[in-house]
Structure 1
């Protein structure tokens, strides 16, 4: 360490910072975690699913019961917890953040056990492995990002129609954006409905856009769309027409996303923007840089995030 050239070599190669690998959130820590993920991808292949889970403490009546017992030494019923005012719930949560985080961790542990079960939400696709990152949002609540590897999941091959069809069937089997309550209460569906806030707005060419790309494009069926190939070059006139159509579609989406009672069908939506389905798909493909999944989505579902029905019913949060 007394040799200046040796020390400079350590700094130049970042070896001088490796002792910080155990310090969470340090660059060396994240470098180690990145290598772990890359090693998993080399061994297991591309992850099958990306899953996000947030905390919804005010919606979890069981947690409110626990907090009331811990903080006030009082036992309340499930009905009393559900009818408690929002302000009271927030006060309980603020006064015992440790219990809230421990409850969230226990809830996730139970959820992972269900996801790994043969009768779980993946319907015959065994959960082989997972990589989980838990972070804390500005408001202090935990939030989970997870990469999931499923056994026998179909592999996407753009040159194989059968592969594309199997992938679409797999997606429709596990993922939904339906606004119809069916087995689930309307409150659970509302948890997946995006509401614009200052955190999702970004400025692009003097325009304000949602960084999550919401509202989403309605689709008659689930599709995996590819960008135009080199053999499908668009003329200047075609690009101008596509740009004009895109502006009309965005205006219409913005309009219907604000209409709570919107009941348009996909065909009626196309009539409103004066396009046929081929022109509509062509407009979407023109903006793509790589293959992208577009889920089957009615015009009244353009603000709903994708979810797995069984996971949503268990977790009761977005």
Structure 2
């Protein structure tokens, strides 16, 4: 179904997005990927989170997570060990204040991903990290972006073989599963709520949705979930606002409206996104979640989660690529 055939007024709001379609595999450091080895020059300091962390009582060892996944079982939880004191950290530093190495989640090259924005100085490789520990009473997370010039970085004499890793993770879903990508460009359209679109157009969309349900039942296609924004990891396009409602994201440095760089999610598809499921991954005779073929490797290939199964939107400033990004769970 062509959304512009139903709502021609949406044409000016069309925005291209690249679905990444991660699938478990063996990506290399010179590949775009989720969960694979980072292109990281040997000798360059790995990013550390220096903010205070919450004290934990139990968790999961990364290697036990990997072994359990290979065996198709759940990993065992363990009592949280006493933290050692990393080199350069004063003796007697409380465990909560010991710096923690970030976990590398993904890296994307512009040569692989259509529509990936340039970083500072025309940087064409972006790397995404997350602190594996939580912060504050609301279990807040900390993220980090590293922009690079791909050509200059690939000319390094040596690369980091094994990044630093914490001995324990609070949750199993802190450890990404290595995934190769299968980029696909599609059109996206704004989330239809508040003032993201003209009020008259939103009213027409709502009326169309109601008519579809009346005619076809609860599994009828809807604008919000079937026609506007695809699920899953993606670059560019329009942000989804299912949990929070639309938000205006302005640059903290210059107040310029920010642009969506990428979206990271836990699930590539669910019962509400039937129309976006690749044909080879669904049973055409079934609807909803029951139609998804391939199990977890298709529905949740990266094994990551963000918030309570929300979308993590990473926004950047188009006026100043070097300005700090904004991280929004929606």
* TM-score normalized by the length of structure 2: 0.21
Structure with max Cα Rg: 1
* TM-score normalized by the length of structure 1: 0.22
Structure in which a larger fraction of residues adopt strand: 2
